[in-house]
Amino acid sequence: MAKVTKAVFPVAGMGTRFLPATKSIPKEIMTLVDRPLIQYAIDEARAAGIKEFIFVTSRGKSALEDYFDVSPELERTLEAKGKTSLLETLQNTNMDSGAIAYIRQHKALGLGHAVWCARRLIGEEPFAVILPDDVIAGETACLQQMVEAYDETGGCMVAAMEVPPEKASAYGLLDVKEDHGSMVSIKGMVEKPKPEDAPSNLAVIGRYILTPSVLENLHSMKTGAGGEIQLTDAIAQELTDGKDVYGYRFRGQRFDCGSKAGFLQATVAFGLARDDLRDEFSDYLTEMAALQQAAE
């Protein structure tokens, strides 16, 4: 079975939930502590053995391309000043020459359409899709867990997690055929169903391993939920065609950094996880919580 060495990062959305910031800053450049969301996504992909990084971008995303440029002046300055730790942090963001490709999605027609835009760069290989606004903290990178599972099963695989039933309608949901714990085989997927139509509360989140046939499905896909071309519909087509599709219950904590509440929660969690910030930050949070309680 072919190895997964390519990942697509669809970053062409408008990020309206973060306006006015996203008027000029791509959502993926916003930082959790001191690292942009996109850096977390790249690090996860690297840990999973990805070698080629395909960004699907749109107008106004040039800050993202600049971020991945080398910065020789900055490196020289840090070197001259003996700031070796910062220099190392900076150099860890450097990418191999030719490892990144950018392709434009001219109109925000949906996640499925964004992935389809990358079809020529993907070719005839299985590939990963990472949505950088889903940030996943954990001991083993989520995509790495999925690649290991995929090496056993083949077929399309989506990252899955249980969500509270009252929130399930905001997600793509899995209709489970067989539940094997971390791995479930599925018989259907539905994007943002009405509560009464929800097949489960096992939700798809932003990590996928897909076979090239999904790109063919996308080619003939009509608009679905929300008037967008949905990736879930193209994956569900695989089931109609008699192929296996799996959900993978990953180990780790997922933060929805595409929403303001999720972004703030991630900021707190990642801040508290840092040795250099933990004490000061947790003192501050305790103080804030006490003040809040007193005010109530």
Find the shortest distance in angstroms from Cβ 99 to ligand UTP. 20
Structure tokens at 164: 């509270």
Interface with ligand UTP in residues 177-216 (CB under 6 A) = none
Binding range to ligand UTP, per CB under 6 A, among 13-21, 44-52, 78-86, 281-289: 13-21
Interaction of residue 17 with ligand UTP, rule CB under 6 A:
yes
Find the shortest distance in angstroms from Cβ 232 to ligand UTP. 12
Binding range to ligand UTP, per CB under 6 A, among 104-112, 163-171, 193-201, 263-271: 104-112
Angle at which helices 72-80 and 84-91 cross, to 10°: 160
The sign one gets for the Cα dihedral 127, 64, 41, 43 is: positive
Binding range to ligand UTP, per CB under 6 A, among 47-55, 108-116, 234-242, 288-296: 108-116
Question: Of residues 39, 105, 145, 200, which one binds ligand UTP by CB under 6 A?
Answer: 105
Structure tokens at 89: 């942090």
Interface with ligand UTP in residues 39-58 (CB under 6 A) = 56
CB-based closest residue to ligand UTP? 13
Interaction of residue 258 with ligand UTP, rule CB under 6 A:
yes
Find the shortest distance in angstroms from Cβ 243 to ligand UTP. 24
Measured CA to CA, the distance from residue 48 to residue 143 in angstroms comes to 6
Measured CA to CA, the distance from residue 54 to residue 119 in angstroms comes to 10
Q: Tell me the C-alpha to C-alpha distance, in Å, between residue 183 and each of 35, 146, 192, 232, 272.
A: 31, 10, 22, 18, 31
Interaction of residue 225 with ligand UTP, rule CB under 6 A:
no
Task: Write a three-state SS string for 57-103.
Answer: ECCCCHHHHHHCCCCHHHHHHHHHCCCHHHHHHHHCCCCCCCCEEEE
Give 108 or 268: the residue with its C-beta nearer to ligand UTP.
108
Binding interface with ligand UTP (CB under 6 A) = 10-17, 27, 56, 105, 108-111, 113-114, 131, 133, 258
